[in-house]
Amino acid sequence: MEWMSWTVPTATFFCVIALILVGMTTWELRSPSILRRGFLPIATTRGDRLFIGLLGSAYLHLLVIGVTDWSIWVASALSLVWLLAVMRWG
């Protein structure tokens, strides 16, 4: 990844996102999801919940960086909890 001048954490982040997308695609092909309602105000599929969880995690990181002096690892831990909650109960 040197051609993009990425740091190791940045490259790792995008590789993990790519692996998640490949895993979700494989899961969807093996077992198509159905719409269901959870605590989100709309009926969603697994892919919808993944997108909402990742988008919420990005905003959570921006909030922590912009408003607090917490470590980025705190934002990452909170984002992981958010993503798991949306995927499970969203």
Q: What pLDDT shows up at residue 77?
A: 92
How far from 59 is each of 5, 19, 48, 50, 54, CA to CA, in Å? 25, 21, 17, 14, 9
For the chain, the residue count is 90
Which residues, in sequence order, are bridge partners of residue 67? Answer: none
Q: Are 49 and 86 in contact (CB under 8 A)?
A: yes
- pLDDT, residue 1, reads 57
pTM for this predicted structure: 0.81
Question: Which pLDDT does position 2 carry in this prediction?
Answer: 65
Task: Walk along the chain (90 residues) in steps of 10 and give the mean pLDDT of each run.
Answer: 73 88 93 91 92 94 92 90 93
Per-residue model confidence (pLDDT) at position 5: 75
